[in-house]
Amino acid sequence: MTYIAAGDRYDNGHYRRCGRSGLTLPKVSLGLWQNFGDESPIETQRAILRRAFDLGVTHFDLANNYGPPYGSAEINFGRIMREDLRPYRDELIISTKAGYDMWPGPYGDWGSRKYLLASLDQSLARMGLEYVDIFYSHRADPDTPLEETMGALATAVKSGRALYAGISSYSPGRTEQAAALLRDLGTPLLIHQPSYSILNRWIEHGLLDTLEREGAGCIAFSPLAQGLLTAKYLNGVPEGSRASRGDSSMSADQLSEENLARVRALNEIARARGQSLAQMALAWALRDQRVTSVLVGASSVAQLEENVAAAGRAPFSEGELAEIDRHAGGSGIDIWAASSAH
């Protein structure tokens, strides 16, 4: 059946300007890190992407190695783009990234010009696109000159393969340097994509101030702390979950009883607000106007709908924020800290 997007998809008005740019993003964006590889049925993926757009989610975030296997999320997204979303291309923000392991040998990882531009060309081919809206350096590379990495992003934009340049998991200092280099190259830094959640607040210690000065936006990934800030772990680690099988990126210390106690206390605050824990966690991350958007994953339409509903919830009282602060941080959940330390 031919897909026709909902006529009221923009009625909620849940968008924010990205820094000082001309671009706005939905407060809740859809990330395809999980659930869009070949292990997930294509019709489930199709239903999630259609429903997201019907709800006004205009931004879909990918990376070269999302899957599994590597590249499959872009291939699957490209198929749905071709079969369902192609008429709406000019209403969509599609982003991809390069910086982590993608192919064997010395040219398939990190931040060299060779890797970034080759990866972008591969991503465009997998998705069947002429350009992406945002192309990111996915992590800081301590061994490649920053001038080379930012030069590759500028080339991506000036060649028409991307409209905007972004970085992910860069420290405040390196972010400032990257922004200066891109500005000199005539390609302003649009956006930074850091990890950020109630349990992982590192961006509050300098990065948000840096982005504000530079006029760049911020889109938070893992705002639900990889599922820890959901109902999933309220009664411990579920039998059969990825975490219980040891094939999750969450480690045992992140699922410690101390952290689970934090999560249960936060859940009580959410219940008092009339929200799910996930909804409160997303609304909390959006409480700072400098956070342009939060990236959520979704394994079902129902999960997507729950998360998107967080964008319109009531603001926090000072008392609620103070109570959340009592149970926040110190969780060891930032598994990307090595990149943002450079």
Return the closest-CA partner of residue 192 out of 201, 200, 176, 184. 176
pLDDT of residue 192: 99
The per-residue pLDDT for range 280-308, each reduced to its tens digit, is 999 999 999 999 999 999 999 999 999 99
Cα separation, 74 vs 164, in Å, equals 19
42-54 and 72-80 helices, crossing angle to 10°: 60
pTM of the model: 0.95
Cα separation, 103 vs 106, in Å, equals 9
pLDDT of residue 176: 98
Helices within 89-234 (DSSP H only) = 113-127, 146-158, 172-184, 207-214
* Pair 99, 143: CB distance under 8 Å: no
pLDDT of residue 332: 67
Question: What are residue 135's DSSP bridge partners?
Answer: 96, 165
Q: Are strands 28-31 and 93-98 parallel, antiparallel or unpaired?
A: unpaired
pLDDT of residue 249: 60
Return the closest-CA partner of residue 98 out of 121, 129, 72. 121
Question: What are residue 290's DSSP bridge partners?
Answer: none
Cα separation, 171 vs 97, in Å, equals 17
For the chain, which residues score pLDDT lower than 70? 240-253, 329-332
* Pair 257, 236: CB distance under 8 Å: no
pLDDT of residue 251: 59
* Pair 134, 93: CB distance under 8 Å: yes
Is the previous residue joined to 68 through a cis bond, with omega within 30 degrees of 0?
yes
The per-residue pLDDT for range 185-194, each reduced to its tens digit, is 999 999 999 9
